[in-house]
Structure 1
Amino acid sequence: MSNHNSLPPRSPVTSAPASNPNGNQSKSGLVPTNNVTTNEGVTVRARIDPTLTVADVVRQLCVNLKIKGAPSDYALRDENNDLVTNDNLRKKIKAKLDLKLVNAPAKDAKEMKYVRENEFAHEFVNFDGVAQLVDIVFTSQGNILAHALMCISNLMELDYGWASLDDDFILRVVQVLSSLHSPINACRPATAILKKLVEADPTNAPGSQASSSTSGPVLVPGSVYRYGFAIVFEQMRKEPSLLETVVSRLGSADTGMAQNSMMLINSLLTHVSDLRWEEFISKMERLRVRRAVVRLMSQHTVEDLTSGILDFQANMLRVIYRKKSTPVDFETQPSQMADLNSIWNHSKLIEEVDENGQQLKWRKLGFDSEDIVMEFNDVGVLGLECLKRFVERDPDFSKVVLEQLSRPAERRCPIARASNEVVELLSEHWAIFAPGYSTSTTFQPFFLDFFKVHALATSFFLRMWSESGAASGDFVRVVALVRSQVKVALRSENVRAWHEVEHDLLECEYRAVRDRQMKELELEDDLLSKVPVRNLRAKIYKESYEFVRQQRIQCLLQGAWFVIAVPGDSPMSRDSRRPNKPWRFMRLDNGLRYLHYVDSAMKFPVRSGLEDLPERIEIAAIVEIATGQCLLPPNVLHHSDLPPASPLGPSPLSFSLLAAHDEGGIRSLADQIAPDQSRWADWTDGLNMLRKDSGHVASKETAGFVQALTEIGLKIKLLGVSSFIHLSGEMVDIPSGLTAGPPPPNLDFFFSPLI
């Protein structure tokens, strides 16, 4: 290979091959300044004028080396992979560092968008692209770091190629996200990466149910489903400020950042492990994440945040239910014993013995016995926490207790028992019957302030007891009063102000509450307020929800035709966005992982299976189902298969499948309009119920179905009870609770068969 020393002497950048074909060094009189290596692996020696800009150096290198493409697509990096800039060019030339002619950051950013495509990703992974990206994440800052994180986030939309991400990488992402100095364009993909890692649990792997055993799901070598909450949270614990930073970003002016933070919080709440459940939930409570979401409810103006807030409400319902169904265990849970001691210390009472020589302590606070574990049997840890917060909220609690103890025994209000009963009433009001089931279609700010509502309602209970002159036998009657007022105070909570709730519970008069409750009793059956009937309702509610969920998913499996919608936020005219193929058929696969579809110029008979549906959308990629934001295209405005709609405004039957955007925001995977209200409810709620991090429904139709099935099922069950009462000719009193008797003293017994 001949030398290139024949270049014009005026050229500020001259170059020659690193060696000739025989391996001998060039005998040129020019002294080589730097070695420059191209993307093709060719190394040349170049004398570079240090007074030039980097852009001029790159341009002349491209000309001299006959490199194809625009010079702006290339940049220089040194042997440490640091970018060469105008500020450090002279220093690197003087140090005779080896340089590399590489893709410019802007070009890399453009190419990164293709990494989610299977063909590109396959080649990218085979050429060790993931390891190179990880190296960039560890060594870069600013925009370069953001581009690398975005590329990894895009790659993680596929279910292969990123199983090599280790604990050090996760910790690095955690550090990026927790730093207040990290730019937003780096924090957004970092948030998405952590969310995906949390959800990449072995139990979520395709076919995990079939491959799981008693010891848990089997880890497949090379599978990306090898992470999960436990692995991610272990690295999060090394950066104590992370969760605080994520919660604070819920109030970010950047909607994409707020949305990503909400999605990460929901993912953590959905997948939290049993081992770290109490630690994680306690941390979130200390950070007042519920209050942050309530503020978001009152401030938000972007519909894209609605689904995340409803998901959060559903997750909080799971948290409350778990607390309520978790028995207190003072022997193994020091925090619970500390709560119990706090309650006692705030009462400022002294433990005594009664006339029978038995301990007299907890009965002073209004429990029925001294068996404190049994007293919290129905309300669990939630009841203990509610009583503790009620006690600590009232600075005059000790005076309240002493005032009750000064009364005759039969006139004392059992404070602790009242607190537990209010927990039951609120659980009934907000349908906290089972984990993962929520039929609320609107914001519930009062529910997110559960403990504050409990404190107000318990104070109301004590006031009604005093103002009504109640005695020990009137407990059920006062409960009925409180139930009636709770319904009034918490009505329409998505539009009512908090001060109205306080007014209804703090300032209402006993006579007004009693008169209204008497009118309600004329229309209601007292049987429905009995604890066994309430428990039966909870069981039937769960069954009804699951029935409707399965029905919705069956609709998705059958498939349906939709009209391809026009996004309503585009500045272009609608005529210019007219789709060439206005019809779309969508169907869910049997594995419940992909939504397959085809776009067509006209409807046609779609065969069973997926052969006619070449395109697909991964369910896991859908982060939100947005509704009522798209327009009907002009070429189908008057089609007979569609309901009448305004040609100017968004269609109420439209829905969009949204995923994370390349820049960290939200992008639409598909926009379509349902032919009728029923089909719209089937698909929007079916897709919401199918998502891993969501348990809420979006339509009043679905919520109404669940409630109607619950009421019908309850009445059918109660018909059997009433028929038995009628045939026996007796009025059977259904107790408010059942207490198990003592166990048999020996084994000399048998079970009599039922007749």
Structure 2
Amino acid sequence: MEDPPDVATLIAGLVAENEGARKYAVFKLQSVLGDPSFADAFIEADGLYALRQAVLETTGNMQAYAFGSLDTLLELDMGWEIVDAAVIEKAVSLAVTHPLVNIVRNVLTLLVLIVSRPLTKSRRESAEVFGFKAIKPALDQHAGFLDSLVQRLGASDHALCANALQLINALMRDAVVHGGEHEWPKFIKRLQDLGVIGGVGMLMRGDTASDPSTPLAAAILEFQTLTKVLLRKWKEVRVNVELAEHKRALKTIHLLSRVSTQPPTPSDTNGETNGKDSKRHHPEKWRRLGFETESPAWEFDETGYLGMMDLVNYARGNEDAYQKTLMEQSVHPREQRCPMARASLSVTLILYEHFEIDDASETEAYGGGHVRSISARGRLDGQANVDKLYRPLLLQWGRLHTAALNAFMRMWKAAGAETEDFFKIEEVVRIIVERIVGAADRRTDVGKIEDDLRSVTLETARRWQMAGLDEVYEDAWGPHLAQVREQLHQESLQFMKEQRIRCLLQGAWFPTTMLSAGVVPNWRYVRLSRNKRLLQYQDFSVRGNDEPSPDELTEKLDLSMVTSVDSNVSASEHPLINGNNSSTETLKEANGHDSINAPQQSTNTKITILGTRTKTNKHSLASFGTSDEESTLLELFPQSSLVASEWLDGLLMLLNQQPITKDTTRLIEMMEDWGVRLRMLNLRWEDVDWDALEARVKGVRVAEREVPSREGLEEEYYYAIQA
């Protein structure tokens, strides 16, 4: 192993006239400066200014190595004294124009370190300038710097992408803290106009950053978190109509609506009009846009400037739809109008809650003049699946807001809602967003989400709402609902057993063989005896209109000889006759009361009753006989799925076995489900003693409440026991 060169040799090489010596020196320097003790010795030997000279005067790979060495020193928080305007200008210039990737990577790292350097008290008092202000003079000389920086996000070199995004993140952090109340929004908008959202979104959806351990993955997650920080800051900005920017935004909302100067209709003012006032302005200037009053500023209290931005962006980006919707709403009575502005603010809050913008565990704390750098890689380590971490749809906030607001107005119209129903529609839209946006993975394009939000129906949303309600009750009532479900399941199972056996007692017609096209079959009528011990049946040449009398059913099968029932009914999801018979056939048709002249259909459904010729143990119908082997006792060929389900499950239940067909199982589940819902109608959240419930779940004994004595009370007097 080669011994590392000494400090004096390296410093001499940095300023040597021989190009080979200089190249060797800068190459070796970047690998040894990572050792703090070597870095101290290098600085004590006045090596910094030799390194600065190499940074400014070398070219090609030597310059890349020189910047790499400087980056290594700065990461150790050493060598900042040589980072002056000349070095920064050189770095910015190379970042914009230089074609060599290794140089651009290292100069971007240098700029990240400069912008991200924490400001200590001593540095604030010194003349040193760090953060965005340090590189701003150089940026003024290179107007295309930010544009080139955003374009680097599409570079094929992953390290270059990561460095470019890290610098963008650093600039955003610094802008939020030091940019001033009115400056940071302008800087963020400038980045967005240059396409930073599209660039980062492309990285999120692609395979480039699928490895969570890479610096690029950490930079992507940091950008996502900073986006949440920005949304939160916009929400915290109070709307103030005295500010020119806020006043201009409100004016934009009003002007884009193309307000009419005509007086309102009688439905607007209950017959009260003032023609003189209406010539000056519409008497419901803001309420017609969906605000609750004519002083709309306070209505942005919950959403802040974020809500105003969303409403302005919607009006600008959908001007025709905005005007058309307001015009359509104006002809309805006031209580039937969908308040667009109020709906827009509601959608903003729905998205804000959905993406958990206020979650302190994800968003970066800011304040006190400093935003800490996000340790994204630490959260990514050990995570094999970045699909759960990346939220590219968060970056498409404006398009999601527009699509969700349109869905809100569609739901309002479909439901025939009125003003008092606003919160109900709001809840429906919240469920829609959770279902559609929440189910999307990182590769889902925002266009598909817009299509889904555009096509979802009120019926579908209500179904989702009911499913969600079941989950909420399940979480709230826990084991109590499980007990109720088990009880209702047994009751439903018993009910279906009685129903299926009644079908057997009623009897049914079956062909004696599988039906084939053009073949006239013989028919067999089968019925369970009243004492439920025998199957009575008889074969006939034709199928009669009336049920045969008991005397005509001369053949009998003793059920005590039955050991099992076999069938191909359960082999398919829907046991149809060649797919031609619907499971929705009526009971009349299924039991053979349709016309004798009905066309015959081929069937491949068969129920086989198996048993022994010797009676089985009288204590168990399902036990096997000991004298004879099991053989076929009777075959039935049902003509519909309903008849097949009734007879197969009816026979199984007579043998004290579980039903197996889908029709019977579905009916049991339906009765169980509706039974649970009916029980829920008698429950209220406030009826629950939550402390006692939690104690019971944990197995803690709970003291019973003492029932008050009625001694000395009249019959009409009752205690009101508080929960």
User: Which TM-score band applies after superposition, normalised by the shorter structure?
Assistant: 0.5 to 0.7
Deviation for aligned residue 1:221:
8.2
| Aligned 8 A contact 1:411 1:470 in 2 | yes
* Residue of structure 1 in register with 2:81 after alignment: 163
**Closer, same or farther in 2 for the Cα pair 1:300/1:240, shift >3 Å?**
farther
CA distance in 2, matches of 1:125, 1:443: 42
* Residue of structure 2 in register with 1:445 after alignment: 392
CA distance in 1, matches of 2:305, 2:103: 40
**Closer, same or farther in 2 for the Cα pair 1:74/1:467, shift >3 Å?**
closer
* Residue of structure 2 in register with 1:153 after alignment: 71
* Deviations 1:166-211 (CA, angstroms, capped at 9, x unpaired): 23432332222122x34211111111111111221214xxxxxxxx
- Structure 2, unmatched stretches of 5+, are 1-5, 264-268, 364-378, 380-386, 477-685, 695-718
Give yes or no for the alignment of 1:259 onto 2:162: yes
Give the TM-score normalised by structure 2. 0.54
* Residue of structure 1 in register with 2:56 after alignment: 138
Deviation for aligned residue 1:442:
1.9
**RMSD in angstroms over aligned alpha carbons?**
4.0
Give yes or no for the alignment of 1:399 onto 2:309: no
| Aligned 8 A contact 2:15 2:54 in 1 | no
Larger Cα-atom Rg: 2
CA distance in 2, matches of 1:731, 1:184: 74
Deviation for aligned residue 1:237:
4.6
Q: 1:125 aligns with which of 23, 31, 43?
A: 43
Give yes or no for the alignment of 1:322 onto 2:233: yes
* Deviations 1:644-683 (CA, angstroms, capped at 9, x unpaired): xxxxxxxxxxxxxxxxxxxxxxxxxxxxxxxxxxxxxxxx
CA distance in 2, matches of 1:352, 1:485: 38
* Residue of structure 1 in register with 2:619 after alignment: none
CA distance in 1, matches of 2:465, 2:7: 84
Aligned partner of 1:430: which letter? F
**Closer, same or farther in 2 for the Cα pair 1:197/1:425, shift >3 Å?**
same
Q: 1:228 aligns with which of 118, 131, 134?
A: 131
Deviation for aligned residue 1:393:
2.2
* Residue of structure 1 in register with 2:663 after alignment: none
* Residue of structure 2 in register with 1:173 after alignment: 91
| Aligned 8 A contact 2:89 2:138 in 1 | yes
Equivalence map 1:425-574=2 (5 Å): 425-434=350-359, 437-438=362-363, 441-494=388-441, 495-524=443-472
Equivalence map 1:52-67=2 (5 Å): none
| Aligned 8 A contact 1:321 1:434 in 2 | no
**Closer, same or farther in 2 for the Cα pair 1:423/1:101, shift >3 Å?**
closer
Equivalence map 1:316-715=2 (5 Å): 316-332=227-243, 334-350=244-260, 355=273, 359-396=283-320, 397-434=322-359, 437-438=362-363, 441-494=388-441, 495-524=443-472
* Residue of structure 1 in register with 2:577 after alignment: none
Aligned partner of 1:124: which letter? F
**Closer, same or farther in 2 for the Cα pair 1:300/1:277, shift >3 Å?**
same
CA distance in 2, matches of 1:339, 1:526: 46
Deviation for aligned residue 1:365:
0.7
Give yes or no for the alignment of 1:183 onto 2:94: no
| Aligned 8 A contact 1:485 1:504 in 2 | no
Give the TM-score normalised by structure 1. 0.52
| Aligned 8 A contact 2:238 2:301 in 1 | yes
CA distance in 1, matches of 2:295, 2:171: 36
Using the TM superposition, name which of 227-236 and 242-251 deviates more: 227-236
- Bigger relative contact order (CA 8 A; separation at least 6): 1
CA distance in 2, matches of 1:267, 1:436: 20
- Structure 1, unmatched stretches of 5+, are 1-38, 42-67, 78-99, 204-216, 529-714, 733-755
CA distance in 2, matches of 1:337, 1:489: 35
| Aligned 8 A contact 1:457 1:505 in 2 | yes
Q: 2:119 aligns with which of 202, 211, 228?
A: 202
Aligned partner of 1:498: which letter? V
Aligned partner of 1:320: which letter? L
CA distance in 1, matches of 2:302, 2:475: 20
| Aligned 8 A contact 2:205 2:392 in 1 | no
**Closer, same or farther in 2 for the Cα pair 1:108/1:307, shift >3 Å?**
closer
| Aligned 8 A contact 2:92 2:139 in 1 | yes
CA distance in 2, matches of 1:238, 1:74: 29
Using the TM superposition, name which of 122-131 and 413-422 deviates more: 122-131
**Closer, same or farther in 2 for the Cα pair 1:401/1:731, shift >3 Å?**
farther
CA distance in 1, matches of 2:340, 2:722: 32
* Deviations 1:375-423 (CA, angstroms, capped at 9, x unpaired): 2111111111111221222242211111111211111110010000001
Give yes or no for the alignment of 1:239 onto 2:239: no
CA distance in 1, matches of 2:19, 2:358: 63
CA distance in 2, matches of 1:435, 1:248: 32
Aligned residue for 2:438, secondary structure, equals: coil
Q: 1:285 aligns with which of 192, 195, 206?
A: 192
* Deviations 1:193-242 (CA, angstroms, capped at 9, x unpaired): 11111221214xxxxxxxxxxxxx34388999x62344344643543322
* Deviations 1:51-91 (CA, angstroms, capped at 9, x unpaired): xxxxxxxxxxxxxxxxx99xxx99973xxxxxxxxxxxxxx
Deviation for aligned residue 1:426:
0.8
* Deviations 1:26-53 (CA, angstroms, capped at 9, x unpaired): xxxxxxxxxxxxx999xxxxxxxxxxxx
Using the TM superposition, name which of 449-458 and 503-512 deviates more: 503-512
* Deviations 1:274-316 (CA, angstroms, capped at 9, x unpaired): 4142232122221231221111122233412322222221111
Q: 1:192 aligns with which of 109, 120, 126?
A: 109
**Closer, same or farther in 2 for the Cα pair 1:467/1:153, shift >3 Å?**
same
Aligned residue for 1:194, secondary structure, equals: helix
Deviation for aligned residue 1:119:
2.9
* Residue of structure 1 in register with 2:677 after alignment: none
* Deviations 1:317-371 (CA, angstroms, capped at 9, x unpaired): 1111111121123433x44444333322321114688758695312111011122
Q: 1:296 aligns with which of 195, 198, 203?
A: 203
**Closer, same or farther in 2 for the Cα pair 1:730/1:345, shift >3 Å?**
farther
Aligned partner of 2:206: which letter? Q
Residue identity (%): 26
Deviation for aligned residue 1:523:
4.2
| Aligned 8 A contact 1:352 1:359 in 2 | no
Aligned residue for 1:172, secondary structure, equals: helix
| Aligned 8 A contact 2:139 2:145 in 1 | yes
CA distance in 1, matches of 2:197, 2:720: 53
* Deviations 1:609-657 (CA, angstroms, capped at 9, x unpaired): xxxxxxxxxxxxxxxxxxxxxxxxxxxxxxxxxxxxxxxxxxxxxxxxx
* Deviations 1:572-610 (CA, angstroms, capped at 9, x unpaired): xxxxxxxxxxxxxxxxxxxxxxxxxxxxxxxxxxxxxxx
* Residue of structure 1 in register with 2:587 after alignment: none
| Aligned 8 A contact 1:445 1:493 in 2 | no
Deviation for aligned residue 1:131:
2.5
CA distance in 2, matches of 1:525, 1:186: 60
CA distance in 1, matches of 2:111, 2:240: 34
* Deviations 1:457-490 (CA, angstroms, capped at 9, x unpaired): 0000001111111111110111111011111111
| Aligned 8 A contact 1:133 1:148 in 2 | yes
CA distance in 1, matches of 2:86, 2:245: 33
Aligned residue for 1:116, secondary structure, equals: coil
CA distance in 2, matches of 1:281, 1:510: 38
